[in-house]
Amino acid sequence: MTRPHRSETERPGPDASGARPKSNPNGPRRHTGVDQCLILMVRSFKTEVAKLDEVEARRQAAALRRDIAALGAIDFFPGASRHQVESALADAEAALNARFSPDEPHAAQGIIPTREKARYRGRTWATRERLWIDRVASAWLIRRFIDPKAKFRWLKKPKDCPKTALGFDFDGAEFTHIGARVTFEVLAASFGLDNDRAIARLGALVHYLDVGGIPVPEAAGFAAIMVGVRAQQANDDKLLQSMSAVLDALYTSYSQLPGGES
């Protein structure tokens, strides 16, 4: 007869001498082979990026993020191993962005000035075409909370930005990365929106997917949706429309959590 499987948390019985085995002071044994395998998968993905088209590369990156989140949820990751996997994925995504989004902004230094919404109403806003996480979330934030009548220009190159337009998420733009904050977070801070805890939670999600950092449970799912919508929509106006519905839903969900909208 097959012996039933004993869980790792079950206390073993006494041995022949009547003594119970000593417990492991470090807790249950971790599945170290799993995280090492995942690191190899991430490194392999980094070398394959040059051979993939953008949709497939971003799909695979999103799948890897889902795997990391799933393993973290069932506690397969010791802290050091998870950091190693996250760092490897950040390197792979940097290689992906270097190929498909070569104009990603570099963080500027300085303080974030406070802005008055009234001076930014009915304006044209411009960012790089083929929206990705930070740009689509920033465009949603602009139209939802800053400039409801905003018009958008999608630029082939940052140098194409009209002088009358408000640029965001590229080097030299009026709103871009500052210090450790991504463009979404800079916009939120500029207009006093970061006091809204639901927006702050969205900022943490965008930050993690754009530059890495503290994992966010919803990040892998959001990235997967973004990959799918991006594959369906070649038009950035329609892409923004589709993703705005997702961001609206996430904002509502975050607002209903304890400590949500303030």
Would you mind telling me the total number of residues written for the chain in this entry? 262
237 pLDDT tier (thresholds 50, 70, 90): very high
249 pLDDT tier (thresholds 50, 70, 90): very high
Cβ(129)–Cβ(236) below 8 Å = yes
Q: How far is Cα 215 from Cα 220, in angstroms, rounded to an integer?
A: 9
Other CB atoms within a 10 A radius of the CB of residue 67 amount to 17
Q: How far is Cα 144 from Cα 142, in angstroms, rounded to an integer?
A: 6
Which stretch of 8-22, 34-48, 115-129, 235-249 has the lowest confidence by average pLDDT?
Answer: 8-22
Residue 1's SS3 state is: coil
Mean pLDDT of 30-38: 64
> Residue 115: is its pLDDT beyond 70?
yes
Tokens of 161: 């930005």
What are the domain boundaries of the chain? 32-100, 117-255
> Residue 13: is its pLDDT beyond 60?
no
Cβ(119)–Cβ(131) below 8 Å = no
Tokens of 55: 């949709």
Tokens of 18: 């009547």
33 pLDDT tier (thresholds 50, 70, 90): low
> Residue 28: is its pLDDT beyond 60?
no
Q: Which residue has the tokens 């530059």?
A: 211
pLDDT above 70 coverage of the chain, percent: 81
> Residue 126: is its pLDDT beyond 80?
yes
Q: How far is Cα 124 from Cα 228, in angstroms, rounded to an integer?
A: 28
State the maximum Cα–Cα separation within the chain, in Å, rounded to a whole number.
Answer: 85
pLDDT score of 70: 73
pLDDT digits 0-9 by tens, 57-95:
777 887 887 777 777 666 656 666 777 777 787 777 777
State in Å, rounded, how far the first CA of the chain is from the last one.
60
Beta strands per DSSP E along 27-156: 124-128, 151-155
Q: Which residue has the tokens 């019985």?
A: 13
pLDDT digits 0-9 by tens, 207-221:
988 888 788 889 889
- How do strand 124-128 and strand 166-167 relate by DSSP bridges? parallel
127 pLDDT tier (thresholds 50, 70, 90): very high
pLDDT score of 158: 94
pLDDT score of 35: 67
| Residue 167 phi, psi (nearest 5) | -80, 150
Mean pLDDT across the chain: 83
Mean pLDDT of 52-56: 78
